[in-house]
């Protein structure tokens, strides 16, 4: 079958939530006396909640009990949920609806491939959930990005073979996961950070409809 499938990451690709993850992790790190920079934040993008906390503790050379670890995970998520509580369509990133609608008009299979356990709730809040044929999120996988599991599961759900899938990602871990899955990786963000991607655009505003149409015919 020659159908091309399109898999979207969520945070930082579809919605502008990467800034809320950053704020919540920064507050948590600082409360433990650990500095947290934008560069370190890049290493957490696309990374699971548990792995993110492990990395922060590693940067600060801190060891804590399992109980405290669980409590911090809850604390981080509670702060994040407060940020996204009042989220609506205005936080959909520019031109995402144009690209999704173009794919829908052409009956291209569309999946979500996100590390977030909050993905379904966010898609409902911004009223995009109905645009997706399949959703794979942090509740559905055992191995986090850069492991390819989230994308290979998404490909299976939309019944498209991996090398006919296109992935949109804003994180280094996500680009690596897409490449390991043998998919075409499109980076949304900065060239110097996402250089492992096959194509890189600052945002969907830079992606022409002709480019997407070409990908559909790949
Ligand atoms: C990814 C984000 O999409 O989801 C990460 O880029 C986040 O920053 C991860 O840690 C897990 O998300 P959540 O919402 O389950 O904590
Ligand atoms: Mg992301």
In tens, the pLDDT along 24-54 reads 999 999 999 999 999 999 999 999 999 999 9
Pocket probe mutation, ligand 1, options 115, 141, 171, max atoms within 8 Å of Cβ: 115
Ligand 1 atom 4: residue of nearest CA? 116
pLDDT tens profile 163-194: 999 999 999 999 999 999 999 999 999 999 99
Max intra-chain CA distance, the chain:
54
CA of 196 to the centre of ligand 2 (A): 15
Q: Is the CB of 17 under 6 A from ligand 1?
A: no
Please give the number of the atom of ligand 1 that sits closest to the Cα of 22: 8
Mean pLDDT to the nearest integer, 194-215? 98
The pLDDT score that the predictor gives to residue 218 is 78
Percent of the chain having pLDDT more than 90? Answer: 98
182 close to ligand 1 (CB < 6 Angstrom): no
Q: What local confidence, expressed as pLDDT, does residue 2 receive?
A: 75
State the pLDDT at residue 1.
54
187 in contact with ligand 1, CB cutoff 6 A: no
Cα–ligand 1 centroid distance for 48 (angstroms): 5
The residue whose two tokens read 């690209």 is 99
Atom of ligand 1 nearest to the CA of 9: 3
CA of 47 to the centre of ligand 2 (A): 9
Q: What is the pLDDT of residue 122?
A: 98
DSSP secondary structure, 90-153, as one string: GGBPTTHHHHHHHHHHTT--EEEE-S-TTHHHHHHHTT-GGG-SEEE-TTT-SS-TTSTHHHHH
**213 alpha-carbon distance from chain centroid:** 23
| Ligand number nearest to the C-alpha of 115 | 1
């Amino acid at each position: 079958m020659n159908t091309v499938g399109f898999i979207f990451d969520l945070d930082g690709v579809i919605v502008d939530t990467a800034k809320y993850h950053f704020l919540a992790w920064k507050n948590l790190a600082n409360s433990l006396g650990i500095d947290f920079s934008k560069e370190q934040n890049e290493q957490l993008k696309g990374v699971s909640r548990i792995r993110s906390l492990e990395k922060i503790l590693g940067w600060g050379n801190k060891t804590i009990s399992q109980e405290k670890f669980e409590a911090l995970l809850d604390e981080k998520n509670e702060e994040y949920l407060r940020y996204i509580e009042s989220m609506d369509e205005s936080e959909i990133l520019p031109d995402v609806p144009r690209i999704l609608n173009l794919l829908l008009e052409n009956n291209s299979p569309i999946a979500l491939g996100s590390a977030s356990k909050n993905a379904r709730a966010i898609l409902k809040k911004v009223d995009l959930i109905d645009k997706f044929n399949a959703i794979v999120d942090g509740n559905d996988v055992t191995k986090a990005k850069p492991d390819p599991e989230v994308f290979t599961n998404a490909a299976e759900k939309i019944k498209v073979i991996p090398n006919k899938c296109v992935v949109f990602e804003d994180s280094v871990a996500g680009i690596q996961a897409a490449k390991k899955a043998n998919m075409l990786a499109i980076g949304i963000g900065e060239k110097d950070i996402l250089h492992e991607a096959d194509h890189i655009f600052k945002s969907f505003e830079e992606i022409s409809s002709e480019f997407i149409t070409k990908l559909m015919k790949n």
